[in-house]
Amino acid sequence: MFLLIALLFSTAIAAALPAPGYTEGNLSQPLSQTGFTSWNAGAVTEFPIHSSCNATQRRQIELGLNEAVTLARHAKSHILRWGNESDIYQKYFGNSPSMNAIGAFDIVVNGDKKDILFRCDNPDGNCDLEGYAGHWRGENATGETVICDLSYETRRSLSTMCALGYTVSASETNTFWASDLLHRLYHVPAIGQNWIEHFADGYEEVIDLATENVTLSTHDSDTLQHFALEAYAYDIAVPGTGCPGSQHEHHDSDTAGPGTGGSEIMSTATATNGPSTTSEVPANCHTHDGGELHCI
Ligand SMILES: *[C@@H]1O[C@H](CO)[C@@H](O)[C@H](O)[C@H]1NC(C)=O
Ligand SMILES: *[C@@H]1O[C@H](CO)[C@@H](O)[C@H](O)[C@H]1NC(C)=O
Ligand SMILES: *[C@@H]1O[C@H](CO)[C@@H](O)[C@H](O)[C@H]1NC(C)=O
Ligand SMILES: *[C@@H]1O[C@H](CO)[C@@H](O)[C@H](O)[C@H]1NC(C)=O
Ligand SMILES: *[C@@H]1O[C@H](CO)[C@@H](O)[C@H](O)[C@H]1NC(C)=O
Ligand SMILES: [Zn+2]
């Protein structure tokens, strides 16, 4: 009797499910019409690149985005392995819970790419401004990033990490396609979620943020970029050495007394800024070192 009931049940279940290998209907129909929908149907796993990009532009942006993913993936792996035992982690994030930064890198690697677009047609005219290598379109199209011709001339591959004079502390984060595009992706709501913002501008402020306002560090764009670059340099490019450059030291003398200003030994590091284009910046935008345009 039990056997019979069990048998009846199993045949009922078997009847409700199509036999393996049997496909009902038309395979070019959406799966839902055959009774099944893949949980991730319609996932966009590649960064969309607009038709305004020609073959060589597309190829360079794709290679740059692949390197941005490589950089973010390694940053995540470094944190998963070492957490706050890592001196590099401590330097940038203090004792912040590690899942915040892990998530900020993972979304670049594994997040859905549907509401993101890279384009090459200069729709806002900002590529005509001197020193502009690209920009986030801001209120004109929050998911869109324009890459200007200057990027193809200046951005470097991660294979040159720690070469050609690059150091994490003294060089711009936009030296590399990888970190430049990581920054641009954090402006796009699908990736940065209006949560990753600019709280610090440049290496010195990033280090200050880690000591003074550490809770902002794991959602600060420049902090995430600098951490990723330093971890990649130290772990991958020149293992065990990296190229951190001169370290921030003025905190020691900050305690010497009010108004001393400390020994601003790093002040020369920022003397190599790109052209200032402040006077030409569109309303609601501002520039950072190296001619980066940021629009709110
Ligand atoms: C499958 O569905 C598509 C779209 O509805 C249709 O164009 C095509 O002719 C169908 N093929 C078969 C074999 O039924
Ligand atoms: C794509 O456009 C860039 C700049 O506008 C140009 O330098 C390059 O030669 C073009 N590539 C092709 C394959 O046409
Ligand atoms: C790292 O974080 C843990 C808690 O997650 C804390 O107990 C520990 O003190 C931190 N390590 C250092 C070196 O501060
Ligand atoms: C948005 O478009 C307007 C009008 O074309 C332009 O003036 C402005 O600079 C654009 N904004 C950005 C961030 O490019
Ligand atoms: C950092 O924290 C201080 C004091 O808590 C605050 O006054 C300041 O505005 C913060 N700085 C930033 C950049 O948020
Ligand atoms: Zn920015």
Residue 265 token pair: 């030994």
Residues 6+ apart with CB under 8 A from 15: none
Ligand 4, atom nearest to 146 Cα: 14
Q: How far is the C-alpha of 83 from the C-alpha of 99, rounded, in Å?
A: 9
Residues with CB under 5 A from ligand 6 (ion): 294
Ligand 1, atom nearest to 26 Cα: 1
Task: State the pLDDT at residue 256.
Answer: 36
Segments making up each domain of the chain, as ranges: 55-115+144-246+254-263
**C-alpha of residue 155 to centroid of ligand 2, in Å:** 16
Task: State the pLDDT at residue 285.
Answer: 56
Residues of the chain with pLDDT under 50: 7-8, 11, 13-15, 19, 21, 252-279, 283-284, 290-291, 296
Task: State the pLDDT at residue 36.
Answer: 82
According to CATH, the topology of domain 55-115+144-246+254-263 is Collagenase (Catalytic Domain) (3.40.390)
> What is each CA distance from 101 to 85, 93, 178, 219, in whole angstroms?
15, 8, 17, 7
Task: State the pLDDT at residue 135.
Answer: 97
Task: State the pLDDT at residue 267.
Answer: 33
- Reported as a single tens digit per residue, the pLDDT across 225-248 is 999 999 999 999 999 999 999 987
Which residues does a 6 A CB cutoff place in the pocket of ligand 4? 124, 126, 137-138, 140, 282, 285, 295
Q: How far is the C-alpha of 283 from the C-alpha of 296, rounded, in Å?
A: 9
Task: State the pLDDT at residue 62.
Answer: 98
pTM over 0.85: no
Task: State the pLDDT at residue 275.
Answer: 35
Which residues does a 6 A CB cutoff place in the pocket of ligand 3? 84, 95
**C-alpha of residue 31 to centroid of ligand 1, in Å:** 13
Task: State the pLDDT at residue 65.
Answer: 98
Q: Could you tell me if the CB of 241 is within 6 A of ligand 5?
A: no
